[in-house]
DNA sequence: CGCACGATGCGCT
DNA sequence: GCGCATCGTGCGA
C-alpha cells in the first residue's frame, strides 16, 4: 500500500486536537480506474454540545454515522446540490466530527494552473464533487478503499491558524476552523 | 403531511 | 456584494 491509513487511535483524541492533526493528512480516493489524492489544508470541528453540530439535538437517520465508530465518514447533502465530507472522531458514541473544507492536490490531478486546481479542491462542496464523495459513502470506514485517510503531516515551517467557522448561523464565534497558514488551497471566507 | 431551511457555489451587477 | 438553484431533512401540526 502506497498510502498508509491513519490508525483508528488518531480519531480517538479530543475533536479539536484531531482537527489540528488532520491538517497535512492525505485524503485518498480509489476510483474504478484511478487514484485521487489530496493533502488536507483546511477543516472545521463540530462538537456534540455545539449548536452548529448536526447531532446537537440527538440522533437522526442522517447524522447516525456521527454516533458510530470514530474513523468513519459522515457525508450529507447541503442546499440540495452539494455534499460535505466529515471524519467522525472523539470517543465512540459521542457525536463529533471534522469537516474537510480544502485539500492541496497531490496525485491524480492534471497539470493545471493553481487557479484551476483550487477550483477543484477548495471548498467542501467542490472537494466532494471532485473526489466523488456522496451520501452513499456516509458511515464508511476510512481505513480501506474506496476512501482512505492516510497519515501525513505539516511541512517544515507550516503553521496552523484557528478562526471562526464558515457558513453557519449558530456557533459563529467559536474558533474551530483550522487551516495551514498561507496555503493557496485554503478556501477564501 | 406540509414546509422552512441549510457546515454551498455560481453567475450576474 | 447579492440572489438563487435545489432537495433531503427534521421539525411542528
Q: What is the pLDDT of residue A115?
A: 95
As a whole number of angstroms, the distance between CA A69 and CA A66 comes to 8
Beta-carbon contacts of A79 under 8 Å, excluding residues fewer than 6 positions away, are none
Lookup: nucleotide whose C1' is closest to A64 CA: C9
Q: What is the pLDDT of residue A151?
A: 87
Residue A53 beta carbon within 7 A of nucleic strand B: yes
Which has the higher per-residue pLDDT, A2 or A56? A56
Q: What does the angle CA A68 – CA A74 – CA A78 come to, to the nearest 5 degrees?
A: 140
Lookup: nucleotide whose C1' is closest to A59 CA: C10
Q: Where are the beta strands (DSSP E) in chain A?
A: 26-30, 35-46, 73-78, 82-89, 96-107, 143-144, 147-150, 160-163, 177-180
Which nucleotides along chain C are within 7 A of a protein C-beta? Answer: 5-11
Q: Flag whether pLDDT at A2 surpasses 90.
A: no
Q: What is the pLDDT of residue A32?
A: 87
The grid coordinates of residue A69 equal 465508530
Give the DSSP letter string of A101-127: EEEEEEES--S--HHHHHHHHBSHHHH
Model confidence pLDDT, tens digit, residues A79-131: 999 999 999 999 999 999 999 999 999 999 999 999 999 999 999 999 999 99
Q: What is the pLDDT of residue A119?
A: 97
- Stretch A40-54: mean pLDDT, rounded? 97
Model confidence pLDDT, tens digit, residues A58-69: 999 999 999 999
Cis peptide bond upstream of A146, omega within 30: yes
Lookup: nucleotide whose C1' is closest to A135 CA: C8
Q: What is the pLDDT of residue A189?
A: 75
Distances (CA, A) of A125 to A52, A86, A89: 18, 12, 21
Nearest to A64 by CA among A51, A49, A74, A56: A74
Residue A59 beta carbon within 7 A of nucleic strand C: no
Residues 105-124 of A with CB under 7 A from strand B: 119, 123-124
pLDDT tier for residue A37 given thresholds of 50, 70 and 90: very high
Amino acid at each position: 500500500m502506497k498510502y498508509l491509513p491513519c490508525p483508528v487511535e488518531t480519531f480517538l483524541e479530543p475533536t479539536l486536537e484531531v482537527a489540528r492533526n488532520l491538517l497535512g493528512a492525505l485524503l485518498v480516493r480509489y476510483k474504478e480506474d484511478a487514484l485521487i489524492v489530496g493533502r488536507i489544508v483546511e477543516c472545521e470541528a463540530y462538537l456534540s454540545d455545539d449548536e452548529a453540530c448536526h447531532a446537537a439535538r440527538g440522533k437522526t437517520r442522517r447524522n447516525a454515522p456521527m454516533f458510530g465508530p470514530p474513523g468513519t465518514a459522515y457525508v450529507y447533502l447541503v442546499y440540495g446540490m452539494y455534499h460535505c465530507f466529515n471524519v467522525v472522531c472523539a470517543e465512540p458514541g459521542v457525536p463529533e466530527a471534522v469537516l474537510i473544507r480544502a485539500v492541496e492536490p497531490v496525485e491524480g490531478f492534471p497539470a493545471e494552473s493553481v487557479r484551476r486546481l483550487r477550483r477543484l479542491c477548495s471548498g467542501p462542496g467542490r472537494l466532494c464533487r471532485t473526489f466523488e464523495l456522496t451520501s452513499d459513502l456516509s458511515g464508511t470506514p476510512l481505513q480501506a478503499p474506496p476512501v482512505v485517510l492516510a497519515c501525513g503531516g505539516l511541512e517544515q515551517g507550516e503553521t496552523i491558524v484557528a478562526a471562526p467557522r464558515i457558513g453557519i448561523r449558530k456557533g459563529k464565534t467559536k474558533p474551530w476552523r483550522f487551516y495551514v497558514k498561507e496555503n493557496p488551497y485554503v478556501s477564501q471566507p
